[in-house]
């Protein structure tokens, strides 16, 4: 496995700890080697020391063992190169002479470098028929750029060898969503417009842009989160049951959801979207600056750090059901969750009561809960909501929870692309997102300010009010 961008945060904070766990658990072949690639002129021992420091910080203390690390470090090497220089790929080819024929190239780099890296791999003769390539999101910044990247990659790697990664799809609870839907007869008759009032998919962070200001100020929440993470979660909620559980069948059904999304463009952006940017405020009692004071962010930036929008799926199962996709930074709480709000009973026999609700939480804890109405103790029929709660961490206490990257990296090694995005999926997502971005530009939809540590712009409640029965 060759990791381009081997000194970056993604490689050191996510990929190497995941590979350490796979090594510890005996899931890597004895001959598997990991070669980190970056510009810094480091010796192998220096890079191993850097990797050890970062892994110690990321891996649970009880899981880090010096002897296990030593075995892992023997797999780990470093090669200094400039990935924008074709000559350095010739040096890399010489470095790999005599290595096993199967290589996995992981591009933990900026998307603008994808095309150049693939072209250089081909020229250097490093894109053999057994090699695979992994691409991090976002794939481009528009439909046009995504098509250009996909076309460049497609000239060198056929689609079966391309793995477009979205780490949300590797989360245990996301996969449990498929199990919940397609392995339990209880929900299938209810999973449709006749019984579901609306769906909310929320991905909120208390953090700001941290050290990603230069990237984020060019991307914004729409490109960074909605185009990939949130739309992938939407697909898993709304897709039809695949004929079989394999890569093509699952991705065919996800594609059909994206193709059924009603377009949002032009003046629709005023009615169906909310765009925000955090101002100064407090998180956990600590004062935090406004977005435009963050490092590497333009002081006049109109980049959105919050997006809420109404998605509508124009098909038989979901016609008339609002799907609200919401994401933001510097929010009051950190959570990733899917809320399935069922319709109330058609005739109320008792005073009070609420409709049933299914909550699928991805973080900070992984759990699934179903809200039911029950009689409160005492005289009379006073109803209160109670929860049937499945805490996945408690239900499987004897088993360590896999990190998303562990599962996805092992899938790449084994050639299983079920949890990865296909080319047409990525392009269909961009085809829906692009008109929204264009509508914001054409109609001067500047981001609405919201205080850091709040629940987002005040216009969010107006969005719900316009499109929900009862307005909440």
Let me know: does 417 contact 228? Beta carbons within 8 Å: no
Catalytic residue among 13, 229, 347, 441: 229
Q: Has 229 been annotated as catalytic?
A: yes
- Supply 3's token pair: 């990791």
Burial class (CB in 10 A: 0-12, 13-18, 19+), 359: middle
Q: Which helix (H) or strand (E) holds 282?
A: strand 281-283
Distances in whole angstroms, Cα of residue 56 to Cα of each of 11, 37, 274, 329, 353: 14, 21, 41, 27, 49
Let me know: does 50 contact 12? Beta carbons within 8 Å: yes
Secondary-structure breakdown of the chain: helix, strand, coil percentages, each rounded to the nearest 5: 40, 20, 40
Let me know: does 323 contact 311? Beta carbons within 8 Å: yes
Let me know: does 3 contact 35? Beta carbons within 8 Å: yes
Q: Which helix (H) or strand (E) holds 19?
A: helix 16-24
Helix 404-414 and helix 16-24, axial crossing angle in degrees, nearest 10: 70
Give the residue numbers marked as catalytic.
229
């Amino acid at each position: 496995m060759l990791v381009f961008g081997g000194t970056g945060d993604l490689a050191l904070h996510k990929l190497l700890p995941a590979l350490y766990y796979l090594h510890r658990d005996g899931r890597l072949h004895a001959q598997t080697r990991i070669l980190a690639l970056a510009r810094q002129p480091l010796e192998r021992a220096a890079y191993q020391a850097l990797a050890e420091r970062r892994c110690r910080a990321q891996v649970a203390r009880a899981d880090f063992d010096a002897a296990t690390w030593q075995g892992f470090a023997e797999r780990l090497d470093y090669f200094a190169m400039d990935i924008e220089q074709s000559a350095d790929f010739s040096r890399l080819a010489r470095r790999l002479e005599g290595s096993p024929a199967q290589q996995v190239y992981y591009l933990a780099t900026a998307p603008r470098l994808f095309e150049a890296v693939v072209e250089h791999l081909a020229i250097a003769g490093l894109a053999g028929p057994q090699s695979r390539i992994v691409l991090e999101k976002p794939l481009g910044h528009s439909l046009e750029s995504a098509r250009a990247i996909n076309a460049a990659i497609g000239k060198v790697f056929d689609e079966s060898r391309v793995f477009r990664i979205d780490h949300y799809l590797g989360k245990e609870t996301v996969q449990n969503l498929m199990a919940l839907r397609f392995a339990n007869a209880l929900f299938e008759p209810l999973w449709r417009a006749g019984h579901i009032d609306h769906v909310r998919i929320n991905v909120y962070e208390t953090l700001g842009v941290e050290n990603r200001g230069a990237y984020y100020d060019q991307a914004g929440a729409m490109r960074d989160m909605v185009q990939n993470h949130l739309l992938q979660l939407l697909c898993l909620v709304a897709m039809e049951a695949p004929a079989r559980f394999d890569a093509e069948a699952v991705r065919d059904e996800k594609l059909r959801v994206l193709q059924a999304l009603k377009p949002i463009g032009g003046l629709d952006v005023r009615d169906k979207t909310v765009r925000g940017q955090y101002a100064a405020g407090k998180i956990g009692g600590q004062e935090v600056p406004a977005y435009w004071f963050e490092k590497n962010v333009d002081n006049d930036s109109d980049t959105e750090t919050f997006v809420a929008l109404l998605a509508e799926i124009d098909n038989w199962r979901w016609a008339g059901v609002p799907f609200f996709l919401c994401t933001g930074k510097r929010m009051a709480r950190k959570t990733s969750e899917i809320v399935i709000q069922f319709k109330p009973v058609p005739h109320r026999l008792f005073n009070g009561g609420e409709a049933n609700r299914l909550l699928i939480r991805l973080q900070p804890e992984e759990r699934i809960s179903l809200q039911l109405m029950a009689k409160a103790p005492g005289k009379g029929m006073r109803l209160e909501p109670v929860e049937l709660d499945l805490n996945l961490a408690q239900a499987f206490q004897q088993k360590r929870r896999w990190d998303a990257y562990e599962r996805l990296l092992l899938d790449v090694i084994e050639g299983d692309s079920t949890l990865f995005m296909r080319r047409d999926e990525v392009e269909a997502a961009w085809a829906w997102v692009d008109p929204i971005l264009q509508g914001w530009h054409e109609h001067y939809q500047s981001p609405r300010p919201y205080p850091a540590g709040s629940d987002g712009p005040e216009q969010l409640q107006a969005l719900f009010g316009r499109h929900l029965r009862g307005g909440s």
